[in-house]
Structure 1
Amino acid sequence: MTETTSSSAGRVRTRFAPSPTGFIHLGNVRSALYPWAFARATGGDFILRIEDTDVQRSSQAAVDVILDGLQWLGMVPDEGPFYQMQRMDRYRAALADLQAAGHVYPCYMGVEELDALRARQLADKEKPRYDGTWRPEDGKSLPPVPAGVQPVLRFRNPQGGVVAWDDKVKGRVEIRNDELDDLVIARPDGTPTYNFCVVVDDIDMRITHVIRGDDHVNNTPRQINIFRALGKEPPVYAHLPTVLDEHGEKMSKRNGAKPVTHYRDEGYLPDALLNYLARLGWSHGDDEIFSREQLLCWFDLDHLGRSAAQFDEAKLRWVNAQHLKAMADDALAALLAPQLQQQGVSAQALTDGRLPRIC
């Protein structure tokens, strides 16, 4: 059995690792909030990593929204941002180490051949998967290497047994190794793939807890096996339920989610937004309204919810209103002045002492 253990005693290190292929919305921010809050609550470190290997879709504009949004929310990382595209030499060195140890092998099965294999499997009502044609085994004869074909590199996944971990949200999770085929970890041009880069990054950045969306659950057993092949212990995992939009769909740009900077420009308070998002999947008793300081005092991984949470903009406005009411007049005036100035109110009118009294 391949199983994760709890992280070794020591400093907690968490990470937020967005892909800059679109602006970050509130669902993404909640995925950043929990690792940030856990690091702060435990006196640990919060690391920002930009997973920009999708070169065609990644953009600097999306990176800027990530950085601006975290800065506005006061969720400033202790380390980073680190960019995966700047770490290619490190990934290639780790690939070479795995290949030398026999954990990686070249596969010359082309796209058309792979598509035909999957079509046959689907026709036979089998799970579509790579069949190990090029996986070297004792006594096995491999096909002749086709001329002019650049191979992919596949990870030699263990056979037999299960991959198991105790998820801080989902509880015990076990996946049979026989359900996992040999994952492509480098493309024909030598570029490493997502699941491999993530593991190398988490090792190098000494990540102790991976707190991320449950759309990554299927990646976890593969990543655990790569950790083991590299001779490292996997981190503790917590896979968060999805944040749904007001129509019950997964929150996404495609479904009309707004960038986090929209809420800044609309006058929402950062602490109110953090308060609201924290409650979308975590609780501290029946407390609805709490300060940033209270959140960081109370936050743990033992009270994360298991069910999908639904965004409610009316509830967010109510939470924001409670935080506005609790602010001192001078502090509220200081936040309000730039907004009014953008609306054309003169600087003199904003500095003559009347604004705090109006607040």
Structure 2
Amino acid sequence: MHAVRAPRRFPTAGPQRLSKVHAKEKLMKKSVGVFVSVLAAGSLALGGCGGGSSSADESGESETITVPTGQGEVEVPKDVKRIVAINGAAADTAAALGRKPVAVAGMVATGSDGLYPWEQDLLGDVADDSLVDGQSFEVNVENVAELEPDVILAAPWNVTDESVYKQLSAVAPVVTPDSDAANPDWDDTAKAVGTALGKDKEVDELIEKTKRDLESTGDELGVTGKTYQLISPQKGEIFFGNAKPLELYGLKPGKHQTADEVNNVALSTEKMNELDADYLFIWPLDDDGKKLIEDNPAYKDLPAVQNDSAMFIDENFAAAINAASPASLEWLNTQSGIEDILKK
């Protein structure tokens, strides 16, 4: 077995779930962390890939749940016990639905245990930096298999190589969002998890509550119809990142924030005047990135800067909107400081 590299440009927080720590739980038998392609599933226990016939008990009732994914229908056993998540947003949602994973790929963040702030209470001590390589973002199939999962929750970027998909789906059914997008909408990710866990009603309620909460905040602040841009300066250029959840507030995407342009358009610093949105969110990876923006003569004349509605963000903020889940969006709405910017 081998791993797969996830291509990336904009340093989105989703694939960057690099962790500093190992999960305390490994195997039950042994005593037991930019944007980017599509994953599918199957299971040795089910005798084949997803989309095959499901097994049934003597009463004729199916023992599996059919889950639509990015690569077709996958059969997931009912009442799975061991959930392994290599996608943090899916892990958040599973835990919020009362089904905490036994392990989740960790990340580099401000917390000491490889979890984002909104995951601290939800996921506890299950961050495992051995599931995804911290430098290459490659999935370690062997380490995933060691955990003996009943189901694997993943993002499209986790598998860009069909051979790795086949290896993972030989371990357990692999569930990804039912979407062709490299970076699917947050609610598509949540719905896939809810269906796989037999909690469609509960996940729909969670999604609707999240939408209502952010819409209510947007209405109170009067931001409907205003524009946003999310950028990351790197190597002398400016990349645009996915921030579609901001539209729940009633905001509209500014220039270069379309699905086709996000992560594909690199803006030269000479064209900084194209950063003309009402709200500008900037994720510099280091001091050089921040300096690249602030030292540009055009920066001080940008509408958002003039209006004091430009915000330098950290990885937590970027992950909350770029690799979003209901839990991350609740944190964004109540604890990230975004309300102070949207008031401007």
TM-score clears 0.5: no
Larger Rg: 1
More helix, by proportion: 1
